[in-house]
Amino acid sequence: MLTIIQRIEWFIGLALLQVLVLNRVHIDGYATPFFFIYFILKYNSGASRNVLMTWAFLLGLTVDVCSNTAGMNAAAATLLAFLREPILRGVTLRDSADDFEPSVRTMGFSSFFRYILLCCCLFCTVQVLIDTFSFFRISILLLKILTDISSTLICILCAEAIRRKA
């Protein structure tokens, strides 16, 4: 369980990492990892939806302000926070505890992977659709969504592996 000070440290660290490093990572204009959603994904499952949505909005807004992206990340992060609980309930076992931190250790690899895959698909799809605001070149749009999802998944799985060993 993280204290408020630790949450603020994670918040600042992930926002700075996203703005200063990851927003500049593009492979031929594609594959931008959105690692800051790790904060939302790892939030305690017993937390109030309103609290999580507030954190997610503030984190997305911080990334938006620093990246000059006009609310795209705030909207997608807030939607992710709103839908995280039903996604989490859908991928976990029915007899699991009500209050846990989603991780490989608490959920098992298969459930955790499905959880982060669904959440990354949701966030990246919404974020890219808001960014392009067009279905004119659907193949390029789908390529951008898939590369963003895969790069975000790789970052989250690497972070989870590092946290598990520590």
- Which sign, positive or negative, has the C-alpha torsion 35, 157, 128, 52? negative
Each residue of 143-154: pLDDT tens digit? 999 999 999 999
State how far the alpha carbon of 131 is from the alpha carbons of 4, 70, 144, in Å.
Answer: 32, 9, 11
Each residue of 120-132: pLDDT tens digit? 999 999 999 999 8
By the 8 A CB rule, do 80 and 122 touch? yes
By the 8 A CB rule, do 124 and 145 touch? yes
Model pTM? 0.91
